[in-house]
Amino acid sequence: MEDSAPRRGRVTFGWLVGLSQVLGLVSVVLTGVWMGQYKGGFAWDGSAQQFNVHPLCMVLGLVFLQGDAILVYRVFHNEAKRNIKILHGIIHLLALCISIIGFVAVFNFHKVSKIPDMYSLHSWVGMATIVLFFLQWVIGLLFFLFPVASSWLRASYLPIHVFCGLGLLVMSIGSCLLGITEKLLFSLPTYSQFIPEGVLANVLGVLLVCFGGVVCYMVTKEDYRRPPNPEEESLSVYFKTLTEGQSPSSP
């Protein structure tokens, strides 16, 4: 009877993980359908089809993969922490690369079509997000995967790293919603008539908000934190010396 509450907690957690994956995957698919079905598909020739690569990359990289990279610490409870750290870093790197492809796609399209860059709120928030995302990844790599910072510094930085990670996911989703609104207002004069394309794009926006909500809930809920395991060493300590002491607690 005593362990029924934790078990129920793990079952709920499992459902939430499933829900997050459904929300994330459906968002990626809907973006693909919107760009593929309604906007003429994909290309890499400076045309409007090249622009279509941008939303797909941002939803896939900056939202879905970033969210999943954050979740690995909660999902893989029984794996060695160093493995999870590497997985966390690799998925974030993949998210970063896909996001950069998405950025190149839109800047190249703008250049060919002589459309001004960086004037809209979407571009300001989006650019801030990708720059901070890159910085967060580099600092995370230096602090937690390589022994650059002292244990004290790493322990102090960890809560900031976690807070900024969730903040960047929220900013990414906000940027996507701004982008959806821009795209609809620029290219859909019949948006106000509740036509399928407009409704599909709105639903995409709502799903992205729900994805962010579920991921943030799972990461901030105390019960779902990875339990501390004194037998495990952080990878930085593992690389440097096995005798230096305890690593900071897991994010």
Q: Which is nearer to a copy of itself, 96 or 177 (CB)?
A: 177
Does residue 12 bind a copy of itself (CB under 8 A)?
no
Of the ranges 2-10, 27-35, 113-121, 138-146, which one interacts with a copy of itself (CB under 8 A)? 113-121
Q: To the nearest whole angstrom, how small is the minimum distance from the Cβ of residue 178 to a copy of itself?
A: 5
Q: Under rule CB under 8 A, how many of the chain's residues touch a copy of itself?
A: 40
The answer to whether 168 contacts a copy of itself (rule: CB under 8 A) is: no
CA angle centred on 73, ends 81 and 91, rounded to 5°: 95
Q: Does 177 interact with a copy of itself (rule: CB under 8 A)? A: yes
Binding flag, residue 155, a copy of itself (CB under 8 A): no
Q: Which of 4, 78, 192, 243 binds a copy of itself (CB under 8 A)?
A: 192
Q: Which helix (H) or strand (E) holds 218?
A: helix 196-220
Interface pick for a copy of itself out of 185, 229, 241, 246 (rule CB under 8 A): 185
Interface with a copy of itself (CB under 8 A), residue from 216, 240, 244, 249 = 216
Who's near 62: CB < 8 A, 6+ residues apart?
Answer: 95, 98, 99, 102, 129, 130, 133, 172, 175, 176
Binding span for a copy of itself by CB under 8 A among 38-46, 96-104, 148-156, 176-184: 176-184
Tokens representing residue 157 in the block: 């930085």
Contacts 24+ apart (CB under 8 A), 91-98: 91/65, 92/65, 92/66, 92/137, 92/140, 93/137, 94/61, 94/65, 95/61, 95/62, 95/65, 95/66, 95/69, 95/133, 96/61, 96/133, 96/134, 96/137, 97/61, 98/57, 98/60, 98/61, 98/62, 98/65
Q: Is residue 174 a contact residue for a copy of itself (CB under 8 A)? A: yes
Q: Please tell me the distance from the alpha carbon of residue 173 to that of residue 179, in angstroms, as a whole number.
A: 10
Task: Give residues in contact with a copy of itself (CB under 8 A).
Answer: 115-116, 119-122, 124-125, 128, 159, 163, 167, 170-171, 173-174, 177-178, 180-182, 184-186, 191-194, 198, 201-202, 205-206, 209, 213, 216-217, 220-222
